[in-house]
Chains A and B, each alone.
Chain A
Amino acid sequence: MTSSETQNPTNGSYPPGTHPDLPPPSTAYGPVHWIKVNLFGGVTNTVLTLLFAYMLWKIVPFLTEWMFLDAAFTGESRRDCEATAGGACWAFIGSRLQLFIYGFYPEAQRWRVDLTFVMLILALVPVLYDATPHRGKGLIFACLYPFIGGWLLIGGLGLESVSTDQFGGLMLNVIIGVTGIAFSLPIGIVLALGRQSHLPIVRILCVGFIEFIRGVPLITLLFVAAVMLSYFVPPGTNFDLLVRVLIMVTLFASGYMAEVIRGGLQAIPKGQYEAADGMGLRYWQVMRLVILPQALKISIPGIVNTFIGLYKDTTLVIVIGRLDILGIGNSSLADSKWQGLSTEVYVFVALFFFISCFSISRYSLYLEKKLHTEL
């Protein structure tokens, strides 16, 4: 090959079989080809491309204009916004940001909420990321965290006590979501084990409970918490509404958690049970030392997904008059200075939820991938 090239470099004629490889025609590779195959290959494809391109062309400029270019970021009232810009009035969100995050939590005490958030992250790192240094100590901290967090938020024992009615905004969503998941995990484990139990009555009760919880909407359970639960405690006693909501949300989440964990349990090969039995371990030892550690590990993506679902559902507390981030937005609209800005509120809250839920779901995907490679 090399010799022939050197023999006839310029006159353009090659002996048969000695022509050097030419690049393929530009329509078979490169961007043009890619576009032709991927965007305009076939009638359906072309129609799809054009349709979606048209949608993009319609939506993107409109949204950018409304959200950024033509939006008002400063101002004291809706009229100020309308005077300066025709798009969104973000000044409203800005002026109420504190309320969106902390609700009616006393201003002087808000550092406690910040601290609780920071500690939540510190507590989550060792749970979620298994290469954390000193993970053992971290896990102990994570176990103690609900109590520390609860104490910080509610007060007492040296801190000024804050009533749970002043909880609101984003903080309420996080409290309900995190508490619901944390406490539903152990209950879910018990229910999942009970559902597979060989004791028929235990099984029936667990199945009944799980199916009941999964068969009714969360909103009705919240109504139960608001209007019915107080009938079931001894006369003269009284639970805080937030505690009642947390109880119902935990029960709700545990029904779903039980199913996730049952999936994990069923994925454990039978040989694991048999081998553990063969070692002479008792039922609880088998579960604690052999089955659950594996089953829970497989279930983690499912647990994270349950959490995302629950976290989104925390907005429903609005129907029983609790002002979460969405509720604060809605109630802020009653201020005559800012009336009529509901779209801004909804878009702001939607963006907030999208960012948080999307990042959590990415984490869950990462876990799934990691589990795949480990198994």
Chain B
Amino acid sequence: MSDNVSQGSDQQVSTQPNYLLSLWRNKETRSVILQIITIAVFFAFLAYIINNAILNLAALGKTFSFDFLDLPASYDINQRLIEYTSQSTHLRAFFVGLLNTLLVAFFGVITATILGFLLGIIRLSNNWVASRLVYVFIELTRNIPVLLHILLIHGIIVHILPSPKQAHTLADSIFLSNRGLTIPDPVAGDGFIFTVIAFFIAIAGAVYFRSWAKKKREEEGKIYHVFYISVGILFGLPLLVFLLSGLPLTWHVPEMGRFNLKGGITMIPELLALWLALSLYTSAFIAEIVRAGIMAINKGQWEASEAVGLTRDRTLNLVIIPQALRIIIPPLTSQYLNLTKNSSLAIAIGYMDIVATIGGITLMQTGKEMETMIIVLFTYLCISLLISSAMNWYNKRLKLVER
């Protein structure tokens, strides 16, 4: 791209005595000049807006400082993963919000991926009814703004589900009402620690078994049901220890109080709505990505698998999806990013994420627009960079497997 610049101009170099002009016509010096100009303009612009901001703040009698973060927030937050009261600082309120954002993004990414893969595969199946219905679902979902999804689902939870006294219940321990989904709270007794230890041992055992089985397969051609045996180790060992140590776990079952269920773990409707809406919306996009990825795999791969006698399901699992993943991962990354960014719409239904805590109530109560917005923007930027680098790492790992 660059060479043509110099070629075009070199021909025109005449006997101009002008030194500056000759600098301009030299390819290297010109690029240096251009960059100096660019950076000068950039910094001049930066200086200009910062200067304006200083003048404007001064005119309003405001200062630019992050001191407010140490002041008590004096508002309550309904969902907190860490200790927080209205006496805690704004900084702590920020962390409560950040964790809430990460929580919904994390669960959203998991469910959206599972649902998206399922839908994408059903969309390609021979089953006419299922594939058409999934098509309708995908088109309906992705052509409606995500904000509407959130509002609609929140509306349905709040308006259609019964109040806690008439809550839908499963075995009188799991309750679903318009105050959210409440499940019993596990309480660990003496000796539960052994089960936890057993679980970690089981993980190590499963990992070891996998590599051992792989070696066996390569050396002796012996094939084990790696998946089922791993699952068996993972769950069997802790379960055994759990039973032997005398079931050291009790459940704190929620009970109806005067207004709400008392005890248990409650997933508030806002979290439920946001999580469902983001999962559904994103799963429609993921389904299309998965479909495109699978369709991009050469037809010969299907035919070859059929020729060696693999069933359709096994072909998908063993041949097609591993290859399609390489095509799927990059667009999947941007869907994960979108989901995380869309979680900021929480503010529309009152889920207390970063935007609602530091960028909402804190901003409002302290009047520190500039500082709080900078914090919010910077935080999202960091989250996005983390997600994309994690996915890039995964993508690279997949590429290395390629032979």
Chain A contact residues, CB within 8 Å of chain B: 37-39, 41, 44-45, 48-49, 51-53, 55-56, 196-202, 205, 211-212, 214-220, 223-224, 227-228, 230-235, 273, 276-277, 280-283, 285-286, 308, 312-313, 315-316, 318-319, 326, 342-343, 346-347, 349-350, 353-354, 357-358, 361
**Cα separation A371 to B100 with both chains bound (whole Å):** 44
B267-292 CB contacts (< 8 Å) to partner A: none
| Interface membership of B188, Cβ < 8 A | no
Chain B residues with a Cβ under 8 A of chain A:
1-5, 7-9, 11, 31, 34-35, 38-39, 42, 49, 52-53, 55-57, 59, 122, 125-130, 133, 139-140, 143-148, 151-152, 155, 159, 313, 337, 341-342, 344-345, 347-348, 355, 359, 363, 369-370, 373, 376-377, 380-381, 384-385
- Asked whether, in the complex, the Cβ of A283 is within 8 Å of the Cβ of B147, the reply is no
B59 touches A235 (CB 8 A): yes
A343 in contact with B52 (CB, 8 Å) = no
Pair B146/A343 contact, Cβ less than 8 Å: no
Compute how far the CA of A68 lies from the CA of B150 in the bound complex, rounded to whole angstroms. Answer: 24
Q: Which of A48, A198, A234, A319 contacts B2 (CB 8 A)?
A: A198
By DSSP majority rule, is chain A's interface helix, strand, loop, or mixed?
Answer: helix
Q: Are A219 and B355 in contact (CB under 8 A)?
A: yes
Complex contacts, B59 vs chain A, CB 8 Å:
235
* Residue contact A349 to B347, C-beta cutoff 8 Å: no
The CA of A210 and the CA of B237, in the complex, are separated in Å by 50
Q: Which residues of B contact A235 (CB under 8 A)?
A: 52, 55-56, 59
Contact present for A199 and B8 (CB under 8 Å):
no
- Counted as pairs of residues, one from A and one from B, with CB atoms less than 8 Å apart, the total is 181
Contacts of B359 in A (CB 8 A): 220, 223
Given the known inter-chain contacts A214-B337, A216-B377, please indicate yes or no for A45 contacting B355, CB distance below 8 A: no
Q: Chain B nearest CB: distance from A27 CB in Å?
A: 17
Does A37 lie within 8 Å of B126, measured CB to CB?
yes
Contact B130 A219 (CB under 8 A): no
Cα distance A316–B34 in the bound complex, in angstroms: 39
Q: Is the CB of A316 within 8 A of B147?
A: yes
Of B11, B122, B129, B148, which is within 8 A of A326 by CB? B148
B143 & A357 in contact (Cβ 8 Å cutoff): yes
What are 15 A-B contacts with C-beta separation under 8 Å?
A45-B126, A48-B127, A56-B129, A199-B38, A201-B39, A214-B337, A215-B337, A219-B345, A220-B359, A223-B359, A280-B4, A308-B143, A316-B147, A350-B148, A361-B143
Is the CB–CB distance between A202 and B38 below 8 Å? yes
Residue of A nearest to B31 (CB): A199
Which of A53, A220, A319, A326 has the largest count of B CB atoms less than 10 A from its CB?
A220
Chain B residue numbers with a CB within 8 Å of A347 are: 152
A282-B127 contact, Cβ under 8 Å, with A220-B380, A227-B373, A230-B56? no
Q: Are B337 and A49 in contact (CB under 8 A)?
A: no
Complex: A318 Cα to B150 Cα, angstroms: 14
Contact A353 B337 (CB under 8 A): no
Residue numbers in B under 8 Å from A313 (CB-CB) = 145
**Cβ contacts under 8 Å, B313 to chain A:** 44
Determine if B384 and A214 form an interchain contact, defined as CB atoms under 8 angstroms apart: yes
**Nearest chain A CB to B342's CB is how many angstroms away?**
7
Question: What is the distance, in angstroms, from A123's C-beta to the closest C-beta of chain B?
Answer: 24
